[in-house]
Amino acid sequence: MDLPQTLHQRIRESLAPLAARAAAAGIGADRVHLAVLGAAAVVSLLLLALPVVLPDLHAVLLLLPAALAARALATTLAADLNARQAQHPQGTPGDPALRDLSTAATDALLYLPLAAYPDVPAAPVVVLVTLGLLVEIAGLAPLGRGGARREDGPMNAGDRAIVFAIVGLILAFDPGTAHWLPWLLLPAAVLAAATVVRRLRPQGPTDGAA
């Protein structure tokens, strides 16, 4: 049994009533992506500002895993809405470019504030965020060769979200461990670089999409 796929399917099924109500109200996938982008900007400002105003309030970093979980739910909802729009005779599917822009921009908005957090080594954070953007760009490369957008790993957007959610949890509960973060972020960066190489490579029969 593919546990991640099963979990994703169950989440999608649980969101189906909400997707149906949103579709009936005329809310499409693009509006969900824009809402996610706006919410990420607000969370980013909070992650930057609150540690300055309240330096001992480390729990503010719980906003990061919470925001990432909410984004995952919103992305699933947008995918459902997009499928409904595509099936409707007069429906207009969501803009894939907006989805890709939202993914890249929310990654930067949510992750880069960690580089400004006290005692956190900034370089590994910036390196992983930069490689994450390159991963998303590399996923679009097959479109220029007439292929399909690639979302395979080993360090795709969902995997990076898990890594940064763990970082947020670690720092929220034990900020003294910040100097150990390179041991988590640098291996993730290596996997992200491998993902860039894999996505740029011509797709073979064994390279399935994630």
Query: pTM of the prediction?
Result: 0.89
The reported pLDDT for the residue numbered 119 is 86
Mean of pLDDT over the chain = 87
The CATH code for residues 3-200 is 1.20.120.1760
Of 122 and 89, which is predicted with more confidence? 122
Q: Where are the domains of the chain?
A: 3-200
Q: What is the pLDDT of residues 29-86, one digit of tens each?
A: 999 999 999 999 999 999 999 887 877 778 899 999 999 999 999 999 998 998 887 7
The percentage of residues in the chain with a pLDDT greater than 90, rounded to a whole number, is 53
In this structure, the dihedral spanned by the alpha carbons of residues 125, 163, 13 and 77, taken in order and rounded to 10 degrees, is: 0
**pLDDT number for residue 90:** 55
